[in-house]
Amino acid sequence: MSQYNSKVEKQKLLLEAEKWASSVKSIHAHSLNSMSYDNRPQDTENGKCVTDIEYNSGLVKRTCSDGLTVYFGKELKGEELIYEYQRV
């Protein structure tokens, strides 16, 4: 059975990383159009406010003042997620 130890450990690590990925990294309420990931300047034009929630997975969820929800970034999965989780 010891031939499966590395696979079991890797799966355990992946589950830990997936739980970590769903945690909030930062919350930013603003009316700026200069965020590095922002490709929707119309969301903040004329002083409109948005709330950006950044997750450890790399995903950013934006909620606009009119209730619209937009996502930015690439959600890390698999090996990329494990790498980022171990890096922190």
The mean pLDDT of 79-85, rounded to a whole number, is 96
Return d(Cα 78, Cα 84) in angstroms, integer: 10
Q: How far is CA 56 from the centre of its chain?
A: 5
Residue 3: per-residue pLDDT: 73
**What is the domain range of residue 67?**
2-87
Give how many domains the chain has, as a whole number: 1
Residue 1: per-residue pLDDT: 58
Q: Tokens 């970034």 correspond to what residue?
A: 73
User: Which one, of 8, 19, 39, lies nearest residue 52 by Cα?
Assistant: 39
43 against 88, higher pLDDT: 43
How many Cβ atoms are within 10 Å of 43's Cβ, its own excluded? 20
**pTM for the complete prediction?**
0.86
Under a CB-based contact definition with an 8 Å cutoff, are residues 84 and 76 in contact?
A: yes
pLDDT tens digits, one per residue of 23-77: 999 999 999 988 889 999 999 999 999 999 999 999 999 999 999 999 999 999 9
